[in-house]
């Protein structure tokens, strides 16, 4: 543990966040996401929910301001009436750092999988909520 670094961030996760550069993406995946089969760079964060992890990450991680949608969510299947309440938790956390203007992108399940495969890393959490997967695109530290 270090002063000022949240305990939820593992040494390996911190290292990965530091290694990433402009345009690299990281996936925060829920407990049912096929994380291990979609990346060569898997970080485990078992037992934790994504909002708490997201908050800790965004304390250090700049979002990409050069693209329209630096944050990507997995969309609800067409026709399904389910409305993921965890999205509001995400918005709240993100707005604290980046203001209300940031618009998120929504991808269907299999398009999201393909995007995840190209990410720099996937963090496998224990998040139990549905449609809780989220991709962050790293911006620039000035």
Output the smallest distance, CB 101 to a copy of itself, in A.
Answer: 19
**CB of 63 or CB of 90, closer to a copy of itself:** 63
Output the smallest distance, CB 100 to a copy of itself, in A.
Answer: 20
Name every residue whose Cβ is closer than 8 Å to that of residue 99 and which is 6 or more positions away in sequence.
none
- List active site positions: 22, 64, 113
Residues that bind a copy of itself (CB under 8 A): 1-24, 29, 31-37, 44-48, 52, 59-62, 120, 126, 128, 138, 140-142
**CB of 33 or CB of 90, closer to a copy of itself:** 33
Residue in 63, 66, 42 with CA at minimum distance from that of residue 54: 63
Tokens of 14: 């911190």
Which single residue is written with the structure tokens 């139990």? Answer: 128
Q: Is 71 left (phi over 0), alpha (psi -120 to 50) or beta?
A: beta
């Amino acid at each position: 543990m270090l002063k000022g670094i949240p305990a939820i961030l593992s040494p390996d996760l911190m290292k990965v966040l530091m290694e990433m550069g402009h345009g690299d993406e990281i996936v925060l995946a829920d407990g049912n996401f096929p994380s291990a089969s979609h990346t060569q760079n898997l970080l485990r964060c078992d037992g934790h929910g994504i909002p708490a992890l997201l908050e800790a990450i965004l304390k250090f991680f700049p979002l990409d301001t050069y693209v329209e949608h630096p944050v990507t969510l997995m969309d609800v299947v067409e026709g399904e009436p389910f409305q993921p309440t965890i999205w509001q938790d995400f918005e709240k956390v993100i707005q604290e750092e980046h203001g209300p203007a940031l618009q998120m992108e929504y991808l269907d399940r299999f398009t999201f999988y393909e995007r995840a495969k190209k990410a720099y890393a996937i963090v496998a959490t224990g998040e139990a909520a549905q449609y809780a997967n989220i991709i962050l695109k790293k911006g620039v530290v000035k």
